[in-house]
Amino acid sequence: MIKLLSSGLYTSIQDNGRSGFRSIGVPVGGAMDHNSMQIANALVGNSLNAPVIEITGSGPILWFETKSNIAITGANFDLTLNDQSFEMNQVMEIPPKSTLRIGNAKNGLRAYLAVQGEIKVPKVLGSSSLLQDVTDASVLKKGDSVQFKEKRLKESKDTNLTPTSLDHPILEVYQGPDYDKMNEAAQQKLAHGLFKVGRDSNRMAYILEYTGIFYAEEILTAPVQPGTVQLTPSGKLVVLMRDAQTTGGYSRVLQLTAASINILAQKRAGEEVQFKIIDLPSNTPS
């Protein structure tokens, strides 16, 4: 059992989300940096999409009642276990009645703590991911406890996953369904501009700030998904993330690749990104 002695900035349980309910307005949700979650699970020998603890910005203080093996991946956080420093990106043994202090990230924003075995969090609509109005809570708070069932697994899983880049400012994107609703000048600005992650960015959406306004008209409410970049008539540029709503009325000008969503999930307020538009495969079969 793990208990939160402090909550950290935004700590929650995430897995790969709940699929199959988008059509009733339920976002898939799940780990913001999906790649780091899978690497953490692979290290401890769990199935890749097993529930993990997602840590944001400033981490929690965790009390481990029983012994366990864990791995923490993602952003570079300061970690101390019982007053000794602790390594990221490898399996570490936690003795019973230990305190793990997760401090601040040196770079990157989110880390993923996988516990060898099974984190036992009730599944709602097929997933343990916390989400407002779907699960009882959307975050873990001080005093909450997380149960897990220890399984002695022999070795880390082999994957060809590479750590999410924390220093790369370039996001590969496709043209979105409403790319042509922008004029030529706006398209140029989007392709060559620098965009700064805004303070109000969260699990639902990242706000991108920039200079030299450009905009696109509203559209009839249409389907959207994580990674969709919306441009509003007032020039607001928004990247929808994991907990975003499933439909929207703003022009969808770009779509992040799956890898780019993970990279953006590690960007903090004030960090800059650029877009690199890559080709979509042809719509017409040869």
Token code pair at residue 64: 């481990």
Tell which one of 1, 185, 258, 278 touches another protein (CB under 8 A): 258
Q: Which residue(s) pair with 54 in the sheet?
A: 12, 112
Residue 245 touching another protein (CB under 8 A): yes
Q: Which is nearer to another protein, 124 or 269 (CB)?
A: 124
CB of 101 to another protein, least distance (A): 35
C-beta of 17 vs 59, nearer to another protein: 17
Q: What is the DSSP string of 18-70?
A: --S-GGGT------SSHHHHHHHHHHTT--TT--EEEEESB--EEEESS-EEE
The neighbour count for residue 34, using CB atoms within 10 Å, is: 24
- Smallest distance from the beta carbon of 224 to another protein, in angstroms? 8
Query: Please, which residue, 89 or 246, has the CB nearer to another protein?
Result: 246
Residue 283 binds another protein, judged by CB under 8 A: yes
Among 76, 232, 246, 274, the residue binding another protein under the rule CB under 8 A is 246
**CA nearest neighbour of 224 among 175, 280, 176, 283:** 176
10 Å CB burial of residue 269 (0-12, 13-18, 19+) is: middle
Q: Which of 98, 114, 107 is nearest to 16 (CA)?
A: 114
- Judged by CB under 8 A, the chain residues 188 through 217 that form the site for another protein are none
Q: Is 20 in the site for another protein (CB under 8 A)?
A: yes
Among 154, 158, 162, 220, binds another protein (CB under 8 A): 220
Pairing verdict, β 52-56 and 145-150: unpaired
* Residue 48 interacting with another protein (CB under 8 A): no
Q: Which of 3, 6, 7, 22 binds another protein (CB under 8 A)?
A: 22
What residues make contact with another protein under the rule CB under 8 A? 19-26, 124-125, 133-134, 174, 176-177, 219-223, 225, 227-228, 245-247, 255, 257-258, 280-281, 283-285
